[in-house]
Amino acid sequence: MVATHTPPSETLDEALAELQESFDLLGDWEERLAYVIELGQGLEPLPEADRVEANLVPGCASRVWLAVEDGGERLWFHADSDSAISKGNIALLLGLYSGRTRDEILGFDARAALDSLGLPQALTRQRANGLNQMVGRIREAALTPAG
């Protein structure tokens, strides 16, 4: 049974603009990373049933689980990590992507969006790679036919 969710009321570009505004209000990268970690603290707990090998995102500095709920037209994502920074990164991505249509997800340039926030540059190479792997897993889910 698929849970009932409310789709995002704003476009992906509007959601990104809000994130950019929040990042701009914060001074240095220490404050921005603290904000990202705070985003992660707001994630819904991931059910134990979703903490399986198939949901682990490869290439991350820590363990990141990303579960996909196929709502037919829209995809909903649920995630968790054993690292505060990775958990924050995935929370940021879920804020952008969860509840979007496959076309919205595939039509959004995540690399440009994350670069506009300056996030990959603030992370270690391994964490930036993990962030790209998370985006890749989300896009992969959008490429999978509904059902």
Residue found under tokens 């039509």: 107
Residue found under tokens 């940021």: 92
Structure tokens at 25: 């209000």
Distance CA 37, CA 90 (A): 10
**Which residue blocks in 26-98 are alpha helix, DSSP H?**
29-41, 84-97
Distance CA 44, CA 42 (A): 6
Secondary structure (3-state) at 9: coil
Q: For residues 131 and 120, is the Cβ–Cβ distance under 8 A?
A: yes
**Considering only CA atoms, which of 137, 60, 63 is closest in space to residue 93?**
137
**Residues in Cβ contact with 141 at an 8 Å cutoff, skipping those fewer than 6 apart:** 68, 70, 75, 77, 105
Q: Which of 60, 92, 93, 117 is catalytic?
A: 60
Q: Does 53 qualify as catalytic in the annotation? A: no
Please give the positions annotated as active site. Answer: 60
